Amino acid sequence: MTLTSFEKLETLRTELKIREEELQGVERDLRSAMRALAIHRYLKTVSPFYGTVPPPEAAAAVSGLEKHRQALYAVITSIRGEIPRLEATVSAPAAPASRIEGRRNRFQ
């Protein structure tokens, strides 16, 4: 079974919405993790005690979250590029059929 152009378009639009929402969540988590890491680094400048305290667990997730964010951005960019191309094929006017007989007037 193959998808129609309309089904493909609907699928891409749905997937775009899902991935954009997922990207928002990943960016929110990334900001939170980076903030926790920045706080930890700051506290280390305040007292040597904080040098012995391990960084927060969220800080370990920064690298993975950044990779996931980049992957989602690439997918979203790809989908956004595909939608207009697919829309152009769906909305392209059909070529008029050529008539061999020629045009007749209403009296013939």
pLDDT digits (tens, 9 = 90+) for 7-48: 999 999 999 999 999 999 999 999 999 999 999 999 999 999
Lowest mean pLDDT among 22-26, 31-35, 77-81, 104-108: 104-108
CB–CB of 37/59 below 8 Å? yes
Q: How far is CA 13 from CA 2, 51, 54, 98, in A?
A: 18, 48, 43, 36
Which phi and psi (to 5°) does residue 97 adopt?
-70, 135
- Residue 81's identity, in one-letter code, is G
Residues 29, 10: Cα–Cα separation, whole Å: 29
Q: What is the pLDDT of residue 81?
A: 97
Residue predicted with more confidence, 3 or 59? 3
pLDDT band at residue 92 using 50, 70 and 90 as cut-offs: low
pLDDT band at residue 58 using 50, 70 and 90 as cut-offs: confident
Q: What is the pLDDT of residue 90?
A: 83
User: Taking the CA of residue 62 as centre, how many other CA atoms within 13 Å lie in the half-sphere pointing to its CB?
Assistant: 13
